[in-house]
Chains A and B, each alone.
Chain A
Amino acid sequence: MSPVIHPYTAAPALLTQAQERLEAPQIEWVALSPTLIVLGVAAVGILVEAFAPQRARYLTQLLLSVIGIAAAFAAVVGLAASGYATTRAEIAGMGSIAVDGPTLFLQGVLLLVGLVSLFLFAERRLEPAEHGRAVDSFTAQAAAVPGGPAEREAVKVGRTTTEIFPLLLFALGGMLIFPAANDLLILFIALEVFSLPLYLLCALARRRRLLSQEAAVKYFLLGAFASAFLLFGIALLYGYAGTLDYAGIAEVIAGTPAAVDPGLASTMGNDVYLLIGGALLLMGLLFKVGAVPFHMWTPDVYQGAPTPVTGFMAAATKVAAFGALLRLLYVVLPGLQWDWEPVLWGVAIASMVAGAVIAITQTDVKRLLAYSSIAHAGFILTGVLAVSEDGVSSVLFYLAAYSFVTLGAFAVVTLVRDAGGEATHLSKWAGLGRRSPLLAGVFALFLLAFAGIPLTSGFTGKFAVFRAAAEAGAIGLVIVGVLASAVAAFFYIRVIVLMFFSDPQEGGPSVVIPSPMTTSVVGLAAVVTLVLGVAPQYFLDLAQQAAVFAFR
């Protein structure tokens, strides 16, 4: 394709050219293998859903998903070992997917999070058996009216929603692409690919279906609203730069485009496109991250969704969305740094303060964790705002540390139950430490990690992001961050005091003994939290090595 085409003859000229020399695109199968494996296994999972008999599906899907995610993780490790993260980076898929350090690091984290969430999804010992069959925490039939005859019938014949496994894999596949997107088109597609399965998963709770459906509707409508803003931002940025390619847009913003055709000459001077486009794009991403002016969905969705889904969503969405945000700010919009920096300062401060302060008034464990995740979005933004290599590496480390703590905390929430299912009201957690000291101890560990107490991963992560921000001169942000951490520590400690120093209620919840799957999730999360807190050096080095974005 020749670089200069007159605007008014574009379509016919391109058509004849395309007919003359249509070349098949080159696809770097090896570099893209983690994503391809996950999406391929998800597609196979759909076939299993269609053709395998009802009884065989659960085990087949579980094994298939575990093998797929493990293979994808092996592929990520293989790519990293062959130097993709450190010595060479590759822009694969005709310039649309970057396989570089941050991508591989985040993909590794996402795959581990996905694998661990899979175990939470597959847990079948928590709910009491129905008609002699062990059931998971997902509804028997999503289309049936809660409590209606269709649902009773579905439970009686033993229907299960094994579609959750392919849905999880599709969401995971989208998340793997999201931080790697090097092209606004791929960014948008990846966003939708991981969002749509999450909307569905939110609606599938076995208990409290009405809450769950309400959460799904809210998440869906607000998520679609946010992605419409993102799309319009993409359209305006494309209008400004005449290309969807990250590096191409960055060059136009810097004023050094590869070639100036008449169309580009008429738009690249128009800062309105650039500023509004960049702002709308950031809005879409900050929504996914759950930062403050765009956080309204977080508490309701976290509370209403089935707890395994909440854990997966809270951990993995944050990782993927911050990955995409980092690449967007550091690769596409560094030329606009003076414009987005003050805005993100405001967002970061508002997130930290609002998240920490509102969390104090919460009485539901899942809502509490939701507000804490909003505060954490603020802390991570502090690292993003360092605008340095240290900033990137600290954010990568923080995301890895935070995602495991979150998963562990939600895994514990699935275990504390009374007759009505999960006992999420905080008053019911009183005295839990006396009844089940081990579980309460582990939960206390996660809370301390959220609060950022030394010897936990939370401390190392917060220290890293605050140090990066302070070195970059963002002292004000660091001061607010430390103060917000102190406020946040108050309500985390309050829960610990409630669990250990108050008397258990009559008829309070009990801790269900789970299968080895959930036990391993809680155990793994606790081990990761301690190791990243006590001996973080290896992982900090890993994040440091992975902290360079590929440009072209």
Chain B
Amino acid sequence: MSPENYLHLAALLFTIGACGVLVRRNAIVVFMCVELMLNAGNLALVAFSRMHGNLDGQIMAFFVMVVAAAEVVVGLAIIVMLYRSRHSASVDDASLMKL
């Protein structure tokens, strides 16, 4: 199977993630959509790595996984903190600074 199919899948996943970030209200779900986008990037990197026959893309994918894990730590900490003080993780409720 041609590696290009994986690219199409990656682009599709990335788009689903981006749309999810824009339309979902719950901060956790928004964050999961961001993770989906990162993993779509990973898939594209690995597919390209295969097409080019070098390992740069796969190494990059490993680093992205580590970064994504670090992002989960920081992100969940922030979102849980928000939830505990407001009893809601909705990104629409957090609007104290709206003019």
Flag the segment in A225-233, A330-338, A456-464, A468-476 that touches B.
Answer: A225-233
For residue A444, CB closer than 8 A to chain B, the reply is no
**Are the C-beta atoms of A210 and B51 separated by less than 8 Å?**
no
Contact partners of B48 in chain A: CB under 8 A: 235, 238-239, 242, 267
In the complex, A214→B79 CA distance in Å?
Answer: 9
Q: Which residue of A lies closest to B48 (CB)?
A: A239
Contacts of B82 in A (CB 8 A): 213-214, 216-217
Asked if B57 contacts A238 (CB within 8 A), the reply is yes
Most chain-A Cβ atoms within 10 A of its Cβ — which of B7, B81, B96? B81
Q: Verify A228–B38 contact, CB threshold 8 A.
A: yes
Partner of B97 from A5, A214, A242, A244 at Cβ < 8 Å: A214
Say whether B85 contacts A244, CB under 8 Å: no
Verify B52–A185 contact, CB threshold 8 A: no
A228 nearest CB neighbor, chain B only: B37
Chain B 54-72, CB-CB to A under 8 Å as 1, else 0, gives 1111011001100100110
Q: How many B residues face the partner with a CB closer than 8 A? A: 49
**Does A345 sit at the interface, judged by CB under 8 A?**
no
A228 to B32, CA, bound (A): 12
CB pair A10–B50 under 8 Å, yes or no, is: yes
A residues within 8 A CB of B77?
200
Q: Which residue of A lies closest to B36 (CB)?
A: A228
* B60 close to A244 (CB less than 8 A): yes
Picked from B21, B64, B70, the residue with its CB within 8 Å of the CB of A196 is: B70
User: Smallest Cβ distance from A16 to chain B, in angstroms?
Assistant: 13
A230 and chain B: residue at smallest CB distance: B41
Is B41 within 8 A of A7, CB to CB?
no
Question: Can you name the residue of chain B whose Cβ is closest to the Cβ of A8?
Answer: B53
Is there contact, CB below 8 Å, between B56 and A244?
Answer: yes
Q: How many residues of A contact B (CB 8 A)?
A: 54
How far is it, in angstroms, between the C-alpha of A322 and the C-alpha of B27 when the chains are bound? 30
Q: When A142-B81, A221-B31 are in contact, do A188 and B64 touch as well, CB less than 8 Å? A: yes
Q: Which of B44, B53, B59, B64 touches A261 (beta carbons < 8 Å)?
A: B53
In the complex, are the beta carbons of B44 and A239 less than 8 A apart?
Answer: yes
- Cβ-based interface call for A438 (8 A): no
Of the candidates A184, A220, A299, the one whose C-beta lies within 8 Å of that of B74 is A220
Taking CB atoms and an 8 Å cut-off, the chain A residues in 1-15 that contact chain B are: 5-8, 10, 14
B59 CB, min distance to chain A CBs, angstroms? 7
List the B side residues contacting A216 at CB < 8 Å.
78, 81-82
Question: When the two chains form the complex, which single residue of A213, A232, A300 contacts B14, counting CB atoms closer than 8 Å?
Answer: A232
Nearest 9 Cβ contacts at the A-B interface = A228-B37, A239-B48, A263-B52, A235-B44, A231-B41, A242-B52, A10-B53, A7-B53, A214-B94
A-B contacts, 11 of them at CB < 8 A, read A184-B60, A196-B70, A211-B96, A214-B82, A217-B27, A224-B71, A224-B75, A235-B60, A239-B51, A261-B52, A267-B52
Given A200-B78, A225-B18; 7 other pairs, CB 8 A cutoff = A7-B52, A8-B53, A203-B81, A231-B41, A261-B53, A263-B54, A267-B52
Chain A residues in the interface with B (C-beta under 8 A): 5-8, 10, 14, 142-143, 145-146, 184-185, 188-189, 192, 196, 199-200, 203, 209-211, 213-218, 220-221, 224-225, 228-229, 231-232, 234-236, 238-239, 242-244, 261-264, 266-267, 299-300, 303-304
